[in-house]
Amino acid sequence: MRPKKTKKVYPEPSRRVFVAMSGGVDSSVAAALLKKRGFNVIGAHIKCFNIDGCEKKDAEDAKRVAEQLNIPFYIFDLEKEYKEKVVQYMVEEYQKGLTPNPDVMCNKEIKFGLFFDKAMKLGADYIATGHYARIGKPKSGPMSLLTARDQNKDQSYFLWTLAQNQLKRCLFPIGDYKKSEVRKLAKKFNLLTSEKKDSQGICFLGKVAIKDFLKQYIPAKRGTVLTASGKKIGEHDGSHFYTIGQRRGLNIGGAKSPLYVAEKNAKKNTLIVVEGEKNPMLYKKDILLKEINIINPETKLGTSGLDVFARVRYRQPLAKAKLYKLSNMSCRMVFSHPQKFVAPGQSAVFYSVCSKNKALLGGGVIC
């Protein structure tokens, strides 16, 4: 069950590594693999804000796995910071009429921000997580962030905010394995999380619907649902509760084909919907990105454009595009073919066209 050989970075095994253990199978196997390879492994559970009560169970599972592996275990209480940097960010973005990505913000501010910094201060040489991604380093030059071997589970999309100083101190032990192989390894290591189901959706919400959560912070406000021609065909309870491309929850009958949200206006509190997912209004070929982060400093953006592969949603197939620099923090992305359901506030990431393992060059927030 050995994975295919790839250029990966595993430093001297005796180094101390803090493993972020969520209580799930992926991070459990990550800790087990590192211990097997001879690292000085320390388990660390990051306590975050959670509204459905599963946090205690996850923390207990992480602790029990650490006991199975006979490694030290600590809990990093970052609940207050998580509320401020992730939850508040998400609510404020929805209030603006945008569709934020809390998983990206969690990685940026919590896992590879506060947790990373605290681990380094406690003497860690590295931190490790259960992300499906890989790190590579050429014979000379900066580190690279590569897609996972399991392309169906690849999580590089959520890691576009990482910088070189972080990549040098990060390990992604399961990036060379397929999910099915990770499950088999969990059983081989006799880990109690081997059969535990993967979490779905936004982590801190659990089974709570995002709309129900947002209603605790954003008051419902009746607004109109319009066709592309401006005809009123229904009402909604707040445009900020919807996102581009949304189909469910519109509760509008009479259409021959499924209705999709094509545009939303937070100031006017209106939604424009169209019939059928092939409607041109649901596609965009030219988008603007802000808050750009370039992972590899050797990547040079210019006004003449850089050929890349890109995606505007998690698990979306990579599409050919050209990236044009507008400023140090913004750029223009032009796809070869129009892309569906482009939602302002979401992340757009771009990869090298030359890399066999698809090196993630960077990303930005869709304007």
Positions marked catalytic: 106, 203
Distance CA 181, CA 317 (A): 23
* Residues 64 and 29 sit within 8 Å (Cβ to Cβ): no
Encoded tokens for 22:
């969520």
Q: Residue 270 forms beta bridges with which residues?
A: 224, 265
DSSP 188: H
Give CA torsion, residues 294, 295, 296, 302, to 10 deg: -10
Written as one string, the DSSP assignment of 260-327 is: EEEEEETTTTEEEEEESTT-GGGEEEEEEEEEEEESSTT----TT-EEEEEESSTTPPPEEEEEEEEE
- Least Cα distance to 65 among 40, 30, 36, 38 occurs for 30
Give CA torsion, residues 48, 50, 54, 59, to 10 deg: 10
Other residues' Cβ atoms within 10 Å of the Cβ of residue 249: 12
Q: CA 287, 292, 293, 297 torsion: positive or negative?
A: positive
Q: Residue 75 forms beta bridges with which residues?
A: 45
Q: CA 297, 299, 303, 309 torsion: positive or negative?
A: negative
* Helix orientation angle between 25-36 and 54-69, rounded to the nearest 10 degrees: 20
Q: Residue 76 forms beta bridges with which residues?
A: 46
Query: How far, rounded to the nearest angstrom, does the alpha carbon of residue 263 sit from its chain's CA centroid?
Result: 24
* Residues 157 and 317 sit within 8 Å (Cβ to Cβ): no
